[in-house]
Chains A and B, each alone.
Chain A
Amino acid sequence: DVKVTQSSRYLVKRTGEKVFLECVQDMDHENMFWYRQDPGLGLRLIYFSYDVKMKEKGDIPEGYSVSREKKERFSLILESASTNQTSMYLCASSLWGGLKETQYFGPGTRLLVL
C-alpha cells in the first residue's frame, strides 16, 4: 500500500515564524502536491512537483514556497506565517503516467497561526 506521511498532525505557530511542513511518500511516486483545505473552499492546490528539484505553482502559491531535494520528500515552507494561513494542509503523491493518476493523500497537518 502507498503510504504518505506528514511530519505533524497538529502545529501551533506564531505570526512571523518560519514554518516547515514535511511530506514523505514511500512508493517512488514522481508527482507530489501540497493542498490546503478550508471549510467551504474545498481543496486548493498550493504547489506541485513532477520531479526532484522541480516545482510548479498551483492556484494559491502566495506566501508559500516548496522544496524537493529528494524524490520521496516534498516540503512546504511558510516563510513568515500569518493568521490567514491557519488551515488544514494535505500532501498527496501520484505515479508518473500522465496527470490522470490517482492521488494518495497524507493524514494532513492542522496548522494554527496565532
Chain B
Amino acid sequence: GQQVMQIPQYQHVQEGEDFTTYCNSSTTLSNIQWYKQRPGGHPVFLIQLVKSGEVKKQKRLTFQFGEAKKNSSLHITATQTTDVGTYFCAGFEGSQGNLIFGKGTKLSVKP
C-alpha cells in the first residue's frame, strides 16, 4: 500500500536557523497537504499542493511539490520559537483512498 515517509523525525535548531522537513512517497500523489501540531494541540491544516513542481509560500514557510509528484518539502526560514511543533505531510494517491500521513517531524527551537 501507499506509504509516505517523512524525515527527519526530530530536528533541534537554534532560533534564527533554517529548517527543512522532507516527505517522500513510493507512488505518485494526486496532492499533498501539510499540517502543524503544536505541543499539546491537534493537527491544523497549513496548505495543499496539487500541481507538479508547485511552490507556495506562507511568510517564512515555503512548500514545494516535486516534479514527479512523489516528494514534497517544507522549509522554514529563520526559525522562531513560535515554530515549535510537529509538522506532518499527508498525501492522496489517485482519486480514491484515504489521506496517508507521514510520521511527522518534531521541531524544537532553542531561543
Q: How far is the CA of A92 from the CA of B43 in the complex (A)?
A: 9
Complex contact B44–A105 (CB within 8 A): yes
Please name 14 pairs of A and B residues whose Cβ atoms are closer than 8 Å in the assembled complex, sorted by A: A40-B103, A42-B6, A42-B103, A43-B43, A48-B98, A99-B95, A99-B97, A99-B98, A99-B99, A100-B50, A102-B33, A102-B45, A102-B48, A106-B42
| B104 close to chain A: CB less than 8 A | yes
Q: Which of A58, A90, A107, A108 sits near B98, CB closer than 8 Å? A: A58
B residues contacting the other copy or chain, number (CB 8 A): 24
Q: Interface residues of B: mostly helix, strand, loop or mixed?
A: loop
| B63 close to chain A: CB less than 8 A | no
Nearest A residue to B4 via CB reads A42
* Residues of chain A contacted by B95 (CB below 8 angstroms): 98-99
Complex contact A42–B42 (CB within 8 A): no
Known contacts A45-B98, A58-B98; A103/B103 CB under 8 A: no
Q: How far is the CB of B34 from chain A (nearest CB, A)?
A: 11
